[in-house]
Structure 1
Amino acid sequence: MNRLTLILTTALIAVTPATSFAREAPETATADHAIGPQYDTTHVYVAPGDFDRFVTSLTATFGGTATKKGEFQVTPTTSKTMSQLVLTPAGSLSVFGFLTPVPVPFGAERTGYLVDDMDAAVASARKAGAARLITTFLDPIGRDVVVQWAGGVNMQLYWHTTKPNYPALATVPENRIYLTSDVADTFLRQWSGFAHAKVLSDDKAAPGAEIGRPGTTYRRVRLSSGYGKMAVIVSDGQLPWPYGRDMTGYEVSDLTATLAKAAAAGVEMLVPAHDEGDRTAALVRFPGGYIAEIHAPVAK
């Protein structure tokens, strides 16, 4: 079974006692259904005319490989899309260029997460507070579902009859989720309960300059689980563009060199490299409109 076939079905702190969402976590633990972050992909939808340029710019920036492009139906209802899986050392992406209108609820899910048992994972997600946007559907080699967490955070869960085998990542990407305080603790409680996530840090007064709001502060929670890393960015929602449009942060060893490769591949700089405490970060826009954060750790 080749990698192209595998992607089709994906189509789609240390915590102190004062951390409120941790105190409210369910008492009964559920099983952890994660497989590994190399199987968890950011879903990117681009116009067909931008498809090839986007995929080429990704591998030029981060390295890695892409499966052969094809045209397929990857939803349970009639549709057709170009589809390609891009495997880079910094993270995996599922790229779609729909040739027909995109059926609901597809197009709004930010990630596809591989699980070891679909029914058990769905039951666990619902118990943790997620709602299904579409019930589990069959595909040629597995099953899929799209769920929504508090704050309108949409994710796809998928399962394969035969487990795929992707290379381990050099660095694990960061799912970047922007929320207001109205729902942040609820989302954190839900996701921590489902994903068995560990809170790495919870800075309630991070510098607002990190999200384009100098002179203010915001809450930044960083977590890690079998599904990879996550940054929950909690603010009043009054964010200057392009903050909030970035779905994923990619860690690289040399930010300057990576940004130079990106520029040569037609990637646009939106927010130049700047210090953010333990990292240096930039925001860029790839051909086709995909906006991402790229960062490198600061040497200690």
Structure 2
Amino acid sequence: MNRLTLILTTALVALSPAAGFAQDAPKPAAVRADHAIGPQYDTTHVYVAPGDFDRFVSSVTATFGGTTTKKGEFQVTPTASKTMSQLVLTPVGSLSVFGFTTPVPVPFGAERTGYLVDDMDAAVISARKAGAARLITTFPDPIGRDVVVQWAGGVNMQLYWHTTKPSYPALNTVPENRIYLTSDVADTFLRQWSGFAHAKILSDDRAAPGAEIGRPGTTYRRVRLTSGYGGMAVIVSDGQLPWPYGRDMTGYEVRDLGETLARASAAGVETLVPAHQEGDRTVALVRFPGGYIAEIHAPVRP
């Protein structure tokens, strides 16, 4: 999501005029049934130690390209705290980066993503009706309002809304939110998320090769969905996953995986699972400086 407002509450400052983003004047718009604005306004939340902050941000832009907002130190939670924060805006998805210099207040630090919605109150009502629970009630920030919700299986997300509607270009490719669940909660989560996001199931493979999650000789269930909030892969297994599977929160689609991994390596990114083919894509798992683990994939070309 190109130029996302530091979603979490951090978005508050990142998209302010001081951050260098032009903002449109408020325009009346019809509220969408799914409340989504578009995947270019969504970010993965990454928390790193302050000492790793700059190195992490540099490694992401070196790997994927893109730009960043100006780094600052702010209070982005409704209770007292302080964090360095910066948006990383790449053609394949955006990240909100936090480097807290104080302890991180609950419930922050456990949310995976932040999604911009067109109407905060309506979105919260819709999420709760679909089965989500608020981990913190809606709170104001300098440029809008925020809430953190939890879905079945402990999947935490932040929703946010801006007083002044931002305007960002579309992404080259839309990232994939990768969610690992057991069969105890998978169907409940899928029902909840589909109800809220009006998601469409692209595929539901109940016998995907276990080698894709480090378990050769077994199978697992892989569900891929799309919605106004972007892509999602729900990975359903017995939970007995070898490291680093289950630690990867987001999958990024690139044109050439080999070239991307070469740039990543030069920037200090470690390849944890080497490139290999999984159906119609080639895939690798990597770890960026600071510990962020991601999946990177490219379509298999004829």
Q: Is the 8 A contact 2:205 2:222 kept in 1?
A: yes
CA distance in structure 1 between the partners assigned to 2:177 and 2:190 by the alignment? 13
Alignment match, 1:226: 228
Label 1:184 to 1:296 Cα distance change in 2 as closer, same or farther (>3 A). Answer: same
Deviations 1:72-118 (A, max 9, x none): 00000000000000100000100000000000000000000000000
Alignment match, 2:60: 58
Alignment size in residue pairs? 280
Label 1:137 to 1:63 Cα distance change in 2 as closer, same or farther (>3 A). Answer: same
Q: 3-state SS of the aligned residue for 2:235?
A: strand
Does 1:193 pair with 2:192?
no
| TM superposition shift of 1:10 | 4.0
Please provide the CA RMSD for this pair: 1.2
TM-score, normalised to structure 2, is: 0.91
1:180-219 superposed matches below 5 A: 180-219=182-221
CA distance in structure 2 between the partners assigned to 1:165 and 1:289 by the alignment? 31
Q: Is the 8 A contact 1:145 1:156 kept in 2?
A: yes
Which residue, 165, 169, 172 being the options, matches 1:170? 172
| TM superposition shift of 1:33 | 0.1
| TM superposition shift of 1:166 | 2.0
Any stretches of 5+ residues in structure 1 without a counterpart?
Answer: 13-29
Deviations 1:143-181 (A, max 9, x none): 000000000000000000011122210000000000000
Identity of aligned pairs, percent? Answer: 89
Q: Is the 8 A contact 2:7 2:43 kept in 1?
A: no
Alignment match, 1:235: 237
CA distance in structure 2 between the partners assigned to 1:231 and 1:116 by the alignment? 24
CA distance in structure 1 between the partners assigned to 2:10 and 2:38 by the alignment? 18
TM-score, normalised to structure 1, is: 0.92
CA distance in structure 1 between the partners assigned to 2:129 and 2:240 by the alignment? 32
Alignment match, 1:154: 156
Q: 3-state SS of the aligned residue for 1:7?
A: coil
Q: Is the 8 A contact 1:179 1:233 kept in 2?
A: yes
Structure 1 stretches (4+) deviating beyond 6 angstroms? none
Does 1:254 pair with 2:253?
no
Alignment match, 2:89: 87
Alignment match, 1:44: 46
Which residue, 256, 260, 266 being the options, matches 1:264? 266
Q: Is the 8 A contact 1:280 1:297 kept in 2?
A: yes
Alignment match, 1:279: 281
Alignment match, 1:11: 10
Amino acid at match of 1:7: L
Deviations 1:117-158 (A, max 9, x none): 000000000000000000000011100000000000000000
Which residue, 286, 290, 299 being the options, matches 1:297? 299
Any stretches of 5+ residues in structure 2 without a counterpart?
Answer: 12-31
CA distance in structure 1 between the partners assigned to 2:59 and 2:167 by the alignment? 24
Q: Is the 8 A contact 2:251 2:296 kept in 1?
A: yes
Q: Is the 8 A contact 1:202 1:222 kept in 2?
A: yes
